[in-house]
């Protein structure tokens, strides 16, 4: 009898322990831990670009979590993102002219909505709107300001083809975009090695709409952002003649290798590294 | 039984085994209503396969969590992303390692014992004696063990995961110095209760528990009544369970994702 009792008690303990562990996992380590027991009120915020913001992303004031993103929609007529923020009722004294901004935690982190307090005497009410918003600044755009990149290729209608010779195309591949002033105007059709001149021949298909490009324009291989893909940028020249189908672009600038660039700044750059490797090879 | 003894090739024999196993599952399910009168036996089996497995499950869970945190910390530090350690530890334990490793341990710890026990019952004519006494061995011997496996696995898996998180926290926060708040807040921001805990921990380990328990009782019940036969059956339990767990894991993941 006592034998049976002991294992019955042990089994009971085991079941309780198992369910306790499950409850712990579900409530303490999952998103339920972030759910608010208290009631929330909903405030609208309209953004031109929300980047990678997702539903249930945190809403923070001064870095403190005060709510979460309830839903994300698109206003069809104005093409702005309509983000509904569910904010804890305890924080109901948010000035109506506060600014809602889409921030990124760290360089590669998740995005969240930050609210910076304004100075208005009125508080934003349930169903109200933050009229002042800052959109998500995409990393590519910020870097693009430094590197002269940004944007994405659009659909292409009729095209004409020109070729350009580069001594080094880096990681450029067919399908990469061709941009002028940062705006995509075409794409790379092929990248092949020239057997006699020992350089790379890149064929560009440029949209027929852009048929006024001077024939002394320069083509350069750029990189979007630090670790982005490579594209061909066209810098217009001053010639009165325009590029036509089958023309070759004379002025080119090859891909800048990040390693080379860094090497120029650092003492132990690529040049020395090569020598070191050679020395080590002996 | 006859299919296994015939000198067919390995494919036919495997198919026959799977077919026998499926039919055996139907028999167990049919015997479940009759086994309700042996509820005490189910509790005893739950004690044996569940509570007695806790030590190994907890130890392994702790170490799996610790080694995950250690590995991830060093890989993530390359990208400056050590703050994600807690998230990745939690997600990988909940979705994969928790259910799978628990099921593998369960097959080794409890499955083999079930097979050997039932196989020896058969070899020592205890099963035949039960039948003579009008006690249905399916209801008295097989069904309680199957049920116990079914109930024990999700619970064991939950304990494994909780200890894994604890181990990850121990190494990540106390040893490697990740910020405690970052560890938890990143984890709670990413782990979804439905996707990761219900689908991952509970549902997967429930299926694994059913498969391991079924294979164990089937191999035991159909083992040739010799010492060699029981030994082979025990080995087959481990091999077949492991293959079934890992193959099913892929299928389940593909469906649940």
A209 or B156, greater pLDDT: B156
A67 or A158, greater pLDDT: A67
> How many domains are contained in chain A?
2
pLDDT for A150-159, tens place per residue? Answer: 444 444 457 7
Judging by beta carbons within 10 Å of its beta carbon (0-12, 13-18, 19+), is residue A182 exposed, middle or buried?
middle
pLDDT at B171 over 90: yes
CA B152/CA B54 separation, integer angstroms: 10
CA A148/CA B112 separation, integer angstroms: 66
pLDDT at A35 over 70: no
Same-domain pairing of A118 and A68: yes
Q: Which of B44, B102, B189, B200 to mutate to test the interface with A (most CBs of A within 10 A)?
A: B189
Q: Which of B152, B172, B188 to mutate to test the interface with A (most CBs of A within 10 A)?
A: B188
Q: Are the beta carbons of B47 and A30 separated by less than 8 Å? A: no
From residue A207, give the alpha-carbon distance in Å to each of A151, A152, A185, A211, A244: 16, 15, 6, 8, 12
**Residues of B with Cβ-Cβ distance to A14 under 8 angstroms:** 46-47, 50-51, 54, 152, 155
pLDDT confidence band for B3 (50 / 70 / 90): very low
What is the reported pLDDT for A72? 84
Total beta-carbon pairs less than 8 A apart between chain A and chain B: 96
Same-domain pairing of A127 and A219: no
Q: What percent of chain A has pLDDT over 90?
A: 1
Q: Domain span at residue B33?
A: 2-256
pLDDT at B26 over 60: yes
**Residues of A with Cβ-Cβ distance to B162 under 8 angstroms:** 21, 24-25
What is the reported pLDDT for A130? 83
**Residues of A with Cβ-Cβ distance to B81 under 8 angstroms:** 108
CA A83/CA A101 separation, integer angstroms: 11
A273 found inside a domain: no
What is the reported pLDDT for B56? 94
What is the reported pLDDT for B162? 95
CA B49/CA B109 separation, integer angstroms: 8
- B232 and B126 Cβ atoms separated by less than 8 Å: no
φ, ψ for residue B209 (rounded to 5)? Answer: -60, -45
What is the reported pLDDT for A272? 46
φ, ψ for residue B29 (rounded to 5)? Answer: -60, -40
pLDDT at A11 over 70: yes
Q: What percent of chain A has pLDDT over 70?
A: 76
Q: Domain span at residue A81?
A: 32-137
pLDDT at B54 over 90: yes
Distance from CA of A165 to the nearest CA of B (A): 36
Bridge pairing between strands A99-104 and A132-134: parallel
pLDDT at B17 over 90: no
Same-domain pairing of A222 and A253: yes
**Residues of B with Cβ-Cβ distance to A109 under 8 angstroms:** 83
**Residues of B with Cβ-Cβ distance to A18 under 8 angstroms:** 50, 152, 154-156, 158-159
What is the reported pLDDT for B154? 95
Q: Are the beta carbons of B191 and A58 separated by less than 8 Å? A: no
Same-domain pairing of A122 and A150: no
What is the reported pLDDT for A282? 39
What is the reported pLDDT for A34? 64
CA A188/CA A178 separation, integer angstroms: 7
Q: Are the beta carbons of A19 and B155 separated by less than 8 Å? A: yes
Q: Are the beta carbons of A18 and B155 separated by less than 8 Å? A: yes
A246 found inside a domain: yes
The kind and range of the H/E element at B102 are helix B98-106
User: Quick one: closest CA in A to B190, which residue?
Assistant: A31
Q: What is the mean pLDDT of residues A202-211?
A: 83
Q: Are the beta carbons of B197 and A21 separated by less than 8 Å? A: no
Q: Minimal CA–CA distance to A187: which of A170, A162, A169?
A: A162
Contacts of A95 (CB under 8 A, 6+ apart): A117, A118, A119, A120, A121, A122, A123, A124
Distance from CA of B147 to the nearest CA of A (A): 14
CA B98/CA B255 separation, integer angstroms: 18
What is the reported pLDDT for A228? 66
What is the reported pLDDT for A278? 43
**Residues of A with Cβ-Cβ distance to B51 under 8 angstroms:** 7, 10-11, 13-14
Bridge pairing between strands A58-61 and A64-75: antiparallel
Q: What is the mean pLDDT of residues A164-179?
A: 81
Q: Are the beta carbons of A34 and B189 separated by less than 8 Å? A: yes
**Residues of A with Cβ-Cβ distance to B193 under 8 angstroms:** 26, 30-32
Residue in B50, B154, B197 nearest the CB of A11: B50
Q: Are the beta carbons of B197 and A24 separated by less than 8 Å? A: no
CA A251/CA B212 separation, integer angstroms: 70
Answer whether B94 touches A (CB < 8 Å).
yes
pLDDT for B60-71, tens place per residue? Answer: 999 999 999 999
What is the reported pLDDT for A94? 85
Q: Which of A34-48, A222-236, B8-22 has the highest mean pLDDT?
A: B8-22
What is the reported pLDDT for A269? 44
**Residues of B with Cβ-Cβ distance to A110 under 8 angstroms:** 189
Distance from CA of A7 to the nearest CA of B (A): 6
CA B231/CA B225 separation, integer angstroms: 10
- A184 and A153 Cβ atoms separated by less than 8 Å: yes
Q: What is the mean pLDDT of residues B137-159?
A: 94
CA B255/CA B202 separation, integer angstroms: 15
- A222 and A147 Cβ atoms separated by less than 8 Å: yes
The sheet that has A111-116: what strands, in order across it? A129-130, A40-47, A80-88, A64-75, A58-61, A111-116, A99-104, A132-134
Distance from CA of A19 to the nearest CA of B (A): 6
What is the reported pLDDT for A275? 45
Answer whether B54 touches A (CB < 8 Å).
yes
Token pair in block for residue A93: 């004294």
What is the reported pLDDT for B218? 95
Task: Tell me the residue length of chain A.
Answer: 282
Q: Are the beta carbons of B155 and A21 separated by less than 8 Å? A: yes
A40 found inside a domain: yes
Q: Are the beta carbons of A14 and B46 separated by less than 8 Å? A: yes
Question: Which of A79, A114, A137 is the endpoint of a domain?
Answer: A137
pLDDT for B110-132, tens place per residue? Answer: 999 999 999 999 999 999 999 99
A272 found inside a domain: no
Q: Rounded to the nearest 10 degrees, what angle do helices B39-49 and B112-123 cross at? A: 130
pLDDT at B254 over 60: yes
A256 or A280, greater pLDDT: A256
Find where tokens 């807040």 sit: B185
**Residues of B with Cβ-Cβ distance to A108 under 8 angstroms:** 79-81
**Residues of B with Cβ-Cβ distance to A107 under 8 angstroms:** 80
Q: Are the beta carbons of B154 and A10 separated by less than 8 Å? A: no
Q: What is the mean pLDDT of residues B8-32?
A: 88
Same-domain pairing of A169 and A81: no
> How many domains are contained in chain B?
1
pLDDT for B237-250, tens place per residue? Answer: 999 999 999 999 99
Same-domain pairing of A183 and A239: yes
Contacts of B10 (CB under 8 A, 6+ apart): none
Helix (H, G, I), strand (E, B) or coil at A122: coil
pLDDT confidence band for A273 (50 / 70 / 90): very low
Token pair in block for residue B125: 């004519």
Same-domain pairing of A76 and A157: no
Question: Which of A85, A108, A137 is the endpoint of a domain?
Answer: A137
**Residues of A with Cβ-Cβ distance to B187 under 8 angstroms:** 29
Same-domain pairing of A188 and A83: no
CA B198/CA A22 separation, integer angstroms: 9
pLDDT for B187-232, tens place per residue? Answer: 887 888 888 888 889 999 999 999 999 999 999 999 999 999 999 9
Q: Minimal CA–CA distance to B73: which of B175, B145, B160, B199?
A: B175
pLDDT confidence band for A279 (50 / 70 / 90): very low
Question: Which of A104, A137, A170 is the endpoint of a domain?
Answer: A137
Predicted ipTM > 0.85: no
Tell me the pLDDT of chain A averaged across its residues. 76
Question: Angle at CA B54, nearest 5°, toward B50 and B60?
Answer: 130
B34 or A55, greater pLDDT: B34
pLDDT at A75 over 50: yes
What is the reported pLDDT for A267? 53
Q: Are the beta carbons of A7 and B156 separated by less than 8 Å? A: no
Same-domain pairing of A151 and A239: yes
Distance from CA of B183 to the nearest CA of A (A): 10
Same-domain pairing of A54 and A115: yes
pLDDT at B79 over 50: yes
From residue B239, give the alpha-carbon distance in Å to each of B116, B123, B128, B212: 14, 22, 28, 11
Q: What is the mean pLDDT of residues A136-140?
A: 62
Report DSSP letters for A198-210, one per residue.
-SEEEEEEEETT-
CA B117/CA B239 separation, integer angstroms: 18
Rg (CA), chain A: 29
A111 found inside a domain: yes
Q: Are the beta carbons of B165 and A7 separated by less than 8 Å? A: no
Same-domain pairing of A150 and A255: yes
Tell me the pLDDT of chain B averaged across its residues. 90
């Amino acid at each position: 009898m006592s034998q049976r009792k002991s294992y019955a008690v042990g089994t009971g303990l085991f079941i309780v322990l198992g369910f306790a562990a499950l409850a712990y996992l579900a409530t303490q380590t999952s998103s339920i831990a972030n759910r608010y027991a208290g009631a929330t009120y909903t405030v609208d915020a309209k953004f031109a670009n929300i980047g990678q913001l997702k539903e249930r992303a945190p809403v923070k004031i001064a870095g403190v979590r005060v709510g979460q993103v309830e839903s994300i929609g698109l206003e069809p007529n104005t093409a702005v993102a309509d983000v509904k923020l569910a904010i804890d009722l305890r924080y109901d004294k948010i000035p109506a002219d506060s600014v809602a901004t889409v921030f990124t935690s760290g360089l590669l982190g998740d995005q969240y909505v930050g609210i910076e307090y304004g100075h208005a005497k009125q508080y934003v009410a349930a169903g109200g709107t933050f009229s002042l918003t800052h959109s998500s600044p995409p990393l590519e755009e910020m870097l693009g300001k430094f590197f002269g990149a940004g944007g994405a290729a659009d659909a292409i209608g009729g095209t004409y083809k020109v070729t350009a010779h580069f001594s080094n195309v880096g990681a450029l591949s067919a399908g990469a975009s061709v941009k002028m002033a940062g705006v995509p105007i075409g794409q790379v059709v092929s990248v092949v090695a020239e057997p006699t001149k020992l350089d790379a021949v890149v064929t560009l298909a440029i949209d027929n709409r852009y048929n006024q490009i001077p024939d002394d324009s320069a083509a350069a291989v750029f990189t979007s952002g630090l670790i982005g893909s490579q594209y061909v940028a066209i810098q217009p020249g001053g010639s009165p003649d325009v590029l036509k189908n089958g023309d070759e672009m004379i002025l080119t600038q090859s891909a800048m290798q990040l390693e080379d660039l860094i090497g120029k700044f650092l003492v132990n750059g690529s040049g020395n590294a090569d020598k070191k490797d050679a020395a080590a090879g002996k | 039984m006859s299919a296994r003894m015939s000198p067919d090739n390995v494919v036919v024999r495997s198919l026959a085994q799977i077919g026998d196993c499926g039919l055996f599952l139907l028999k167990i399910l049919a015997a479940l209503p009759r086994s309700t009168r042996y509820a005490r036996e189910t509790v005893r089996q739950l004690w044996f396969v569940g509570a007695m497995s806790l030590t190994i499950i907890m130890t392994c869970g702790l170490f799996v969590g610790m080694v995950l945190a250690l590995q991830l910390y060093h890989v993530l530090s390359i990208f400056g992303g050590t703050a994600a350690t807690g998230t990745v530890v939690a997600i990988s334990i909940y979705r994969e390692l928790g259910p799978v490793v628990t099921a593998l341990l369960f097959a080794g710890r409890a499955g083999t014992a079930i097979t050997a026990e039932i196989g020896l019952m058969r070899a020592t004519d205890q099963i035949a004696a039960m039948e003579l006494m009008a006690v249905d061995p399916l209801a008295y011997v097989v069904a309680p063990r199957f049920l116990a496996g079914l109930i024990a696995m999700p619970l064991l898996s939950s304990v494994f995961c909780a200890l894994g998180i604890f181990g990850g926290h121990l190494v990540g926060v106390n040893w490697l110095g990740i910020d405690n708040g970052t560890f938890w807040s990143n984890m709670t921001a990413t782990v979804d209760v439905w996707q990761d805990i219900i689908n991952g921990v509970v549902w997967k380990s429930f299926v694994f528990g059913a498969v391991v328990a079924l294979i164990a009782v089937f191999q035991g019940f159909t083992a040739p009544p010799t010492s060699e036969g029981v030994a082979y059956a025990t080995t087959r339990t481990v091999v077949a369970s492991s293959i079934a767990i890992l193959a099913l894991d892929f299928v389940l993941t593909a469906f649940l994702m």
